[in-house]
Structure 1
Amino acid sequence: MPLYKEIILKDNAKLYLWKITEDIEYLKHAVKLNTNSQNRVDSMKSESHQKGFLAARMLLQHIGYTDFDLYYDTFGKPHLTDGKHISISHSHTFSAIAISNQSIGLDIEQVKEKILKIASRFMDVSHLENLSETEKRIKATVIWGIKESIFKIKNIEGISFRNHIFEEDFSLEDKKATATLKYENKEENFDILFDSAEDYIFVCAFEKQ
């Protein structure tokens, strides 16, 4: 299907969602890839991962870029040749990209029951108190997304979700939060925006200016 949703995050930042309904052969023919990207797709054993990768390129083409405008640094972080910041995420039937004039991290996750079984490994579970089971699953998924999106911005080996990234408690209704990365004697603060699409949560992190 075409673009599922376009969301203005800030004056200088947009999020684009693509719901993957196409078969793999359609996507392969619809997207033009550079050599490195083609090699990556060919090496993927999972068709779902192939689709997610290609759907992200469909989004790029939809907004006027191509795969040839995208490159990855030695840490695997994506960049655009025009200097704008980009973050990419994929989960099952959705691919997403966020583009901004400032550093941005994006994560999209499907809400699943098992998130609560591992919540204590990555978050302060007191932030789930006084919530229904459904709200707990959603909030835990948001918090995972907060930590994943901050990690994508910093991309430093050794960062622990549980021990280094701390979210301030927040309300789901606000659709925003703040978080702090404390690592190697340095403290950095982030603004967080989040929302939902069907049974998926997407989270975007921005370094505070």
Structure 2
Amino acid sequence: MPFFKEIIIDGCARVLLWKIEEDFNVLFRAVSLKDVSLARLEGMKSESHQKGFICVRMLLQHCGYTDFDLYYDELGKPHLNDGTHISISHSFDFSAIVLSDANIGLDIEQIKEKVLRIAPRFMDVSHLENLSEAEQMRKATVVWGVKEAVFKLKNEVGISFPEHIFEDQFQLTDKEGTAQLHFNNTIEQYSFFFEEVENYMLVCVKELFS
């Protein structure tokens, strides 16, 4: 199953997902890669990571771009040559990209029990009170995704998940919320959107301007 789903956020951002089910060779033959991308692909030890990398390029092709339209800055943040903002994520069975006219961050994570064991390291665990274990796993995965997406959007060295990124209270039924980045003596406001896709949590973050 190739292209999986498109989600429009606030009419200004397109999230696209690819469910990775194809054989590596089938995927590899379906994309054109520039030399630097080919070298990066060959350096990956895991076939799962290789497939995720290629499926990001499949999503680009679905939108009318190619690998030759994509480049990374010195901190590893992706950009498109035409100025459209892009964020990229992949996790096991899914690759995802978001395209927007404004700076934006994206993360997709598999919902796993491990997130509860590490939750005290990255979030305020009071957010998990009065929830079943399954709900705690889902909510903690949303919070992790919010912090990953803010980190990708801001793209600055030194940002700490527990010390600098704070999410406001939200309910799983909301499918959205707000968060702040306290960094370099400034406070920046963000909105986030989340959606459960099979056993994964997709999170998209954009900056709020006053």
How high is the TM-score relative to the length of structure 2?
Answer: 0.98
Please say if 1:73 is aligned against 2:58: no
Aligned to 1:95: 95
Match of 1:201 in 2: 201
Alpha-carbon separation, structure 1, partners of 2:156 and 2:82: 24
CA distance in structure 1 between the partners assigned to 2:208 and 2:35 by the alignment: 36
| Whole-angstrom CA distance in 2 between matches of 1:140 and 1:69 | 35
What does residue 136 of structure 1 align with?
136
In 1, Cα distance between the equivalents of 2:126 and 2:17?
32
Q: CA RMSD in A?
A: 0.6
Match of 1:182 in 2: 182
Offset from partner CA, 1:44-91 (integer Å, 9 cap, x none): 111110000000100110111101111101110000111110000000
What CA distance in whole angstroms lies between the structure 2 residues aligned with 1:167 and 1:71? 30
**What is the number of residues matched between the two proteins?**
209
CA apart distance, 1:2: 2.1
Q: Which residue of 2 aligns with 1:105?
A: 105
Over 2 Å off, 4+ runs: none
Partner of 1:120: 120
Q: CA–CA distance in 2 between the matches of 1:93 and 1:80?
A: 25
**CA shift for structure 1 position 158:** 1.1
- AA aligned opposite 1:72: Y
Question: Structure 1: which 5+ residue stretches go unaligned?
Answer: none
Amino acid aligned to 2:206 = F
Secondary structure at the counterpart of residue 17 of structure 2: strand
TM-score using structure 1 length: 0.99
Q: SS at the partner of 1:38?
A: helix
Structure 2 residue runs of 5 or longer lacking an equivalent are none
Q: Secondary structure at the match of 1:174?
A: coil
Q: Structure 2 CA distance, aligned partners of 1:124 and 1:182?
A: 15
Q: Distance in 1 between matches of 2:205 and 2:35?
A: 31
Letter in 2 for 1:152: K
Percent identity of equivalent pairs: 60
